[in-house]
Structure 1
Amino acid sequence: MEFSSLGSLALHLVSQEVTLLASLHEGLEKCAEKVETTAKDEIGHYQLGIGPFPAWADLADSTEEQKAKMGYPSDAPLLASGAMQNSITHTTHVLETVIGSTDEKMVYHEFGTPKMPARPVMGPAVLRNKEYIRRVLGLATVTGLIGGSAIHASLGYDSTP
């Protein structure tokens, strides 16, 4: 590739940067959506431990009795009305994403309390998607550096890794 001036080289480099950032943003958004979905899916089902996060302890009999009185599903940890599950969302801005819950009780479940064992949701959701995140962000990086979506087709990749 030849450039007729420093200005044309600069324009080329800026366009490469914009393409890379757009590709990485798109990949990060896909990863955030996947982690959000995984976190929501974990609620209501006992989870095995992963990495530093413990397996979920059985609910206490008193908790199950209280849930039954309120008409909530039995044997469904962290699931009552569904409000906490529905409060899990994400926002992505440029190359930063935040995935979390607006329900203040989530922090007690994530880390536990002196009277309640931890039933972590967010940390395990990230770890369960570790390979997906690597694959998506790796492909987004390569795509952004060497040719946008055209490289997907030439390599036989689907646009949703």
Structure 2
Amino acid sequence: MDNRQAIGSWLSGPRAAIEEAGADLGYRGEQLGLPQEGPGSIARPGRRIGALAVDWGLCLLIAYGLLTDGYNQSTGNWALLIFFVLSVLTVGTLGFTPGKRIFGLRVVSLDTGRVAPLRALTRTVLLCLAIPALIWDRDGRGLHDRLAKTVEVRA
């Protein structure tokens, strides 16, 4: 094996390397019993990041306009607190945040379909820590979703 092939598989990620070896991983969400496309399928990373950006922007706007005298270090802290409250309340009751609604996403529980408030709290605490959200499994679920037994799907 030459160096270009090794670098190519490294840059492509572990999924590409496994597929190159001939293993069939199936589509994202297949192990969870979710459809491959359309409503109920695993949300794509671009939509998830877009929804997060909308939610974070909304929280920054609220923190900037209502709680502080201008943008400073505490604005980000207030925005994180507002994001936490917004996420727990909206995901725990409606199943989506404003950003998720705009991007056509929904958070569902794997067993019941509806996210209980305690699961929403667990998911949001882990999401605010950021590291669990950056560790994904082969289905594209973050560690925060795995630990809360939830999944973000297309609405």
Q: Greater CA radius of gyration, 1 or 2? A: 1
Q: RCO higher in 1 or 2 (8 Å CA, sep ≥ 6)?
A: 1
TM normalised by structure 2 equals 0.31
